Amino acid sequence: MDLEIERRNLIEELGVHMERKNLAPLAARIMATLILSGKKGVTFDELVNDLQAGKSSISTHLDHLQQTSRVEYFTKPGDRKRYFITNPDLLINMINEMVEKWEHEKRIHASIKNYKQKCNTVAKENHGYCFDLEFQENYLTFLEEIIASVKKFKIKISKKNN
């Protein structure tokens, strides 16, 4: 398959995926384009041509992506163009958000497990219904393992970026 066709297909596939993360369709395509361009950067005119979108639409979405710290730009000496790239800290920031969400969920499920254990103590004394704690225990283990794994991944990325 021609690399350009493969790149366009990947931009579309990644763009659709990013739309599910509350990005506007064009903003998602801009992000996908920047991700696939790497650190070389993409000019405004290249984005307009590649994505076949209006200048004002590209500009609006680039402004939004910059304001939300997803995109930044650099310039080259003697060149008036801006070269857009994804924020180098974007993946680290996304990992931090995921870990924070999972740690919050872990605290909630630990509280649920604790509550169910107390209910089970009372129920046993009164020969009543007891909760099955297997799901809570398995889910807490899963959250602990995924948090630890993602934190290890973050350390590897951080070392590579430095």
The tens place of each residue's pLDDT in the chain, 162 residues long, gives 699 899 999 999 999 999 998 899 999 999 999 999 988 899 999 999 999 999 999 999 999 999 999 999 999 999 999 999 999 888 898 899 999 999 999 999 999 999 999 999 998 888 778 899 999 999 999 999 999 999 999 999 888 776
Provide the domain count of the chain.
2
On whether both 64 and 37 belong to a single domain, the answer is yes
On whether both 113 and 38 belong to a single domain, the answer is no
What the block records as the tokens of 100 is 């924070």
Domain edge (last residue) among 86, 105, 131:
86
Domain edge (last residue) among 86, 106, 136:
86
Closest CA to 42 of 9, 7, 68: 7
On whether both 81 and 7 belong to a single domain, the answer is yes
Closest CA to 51 of 71, 19, 29: 29
Domain edge (last residue) among 65, 86, 107:
86
> Using CA atoms, how far apart are residues 73 and 46, in angstroms rounded to an integer?
14
Domain around 154: 90-161
pTM attached to this predicted model: 0.76
CATH number at residue 73: 1.10.10.10
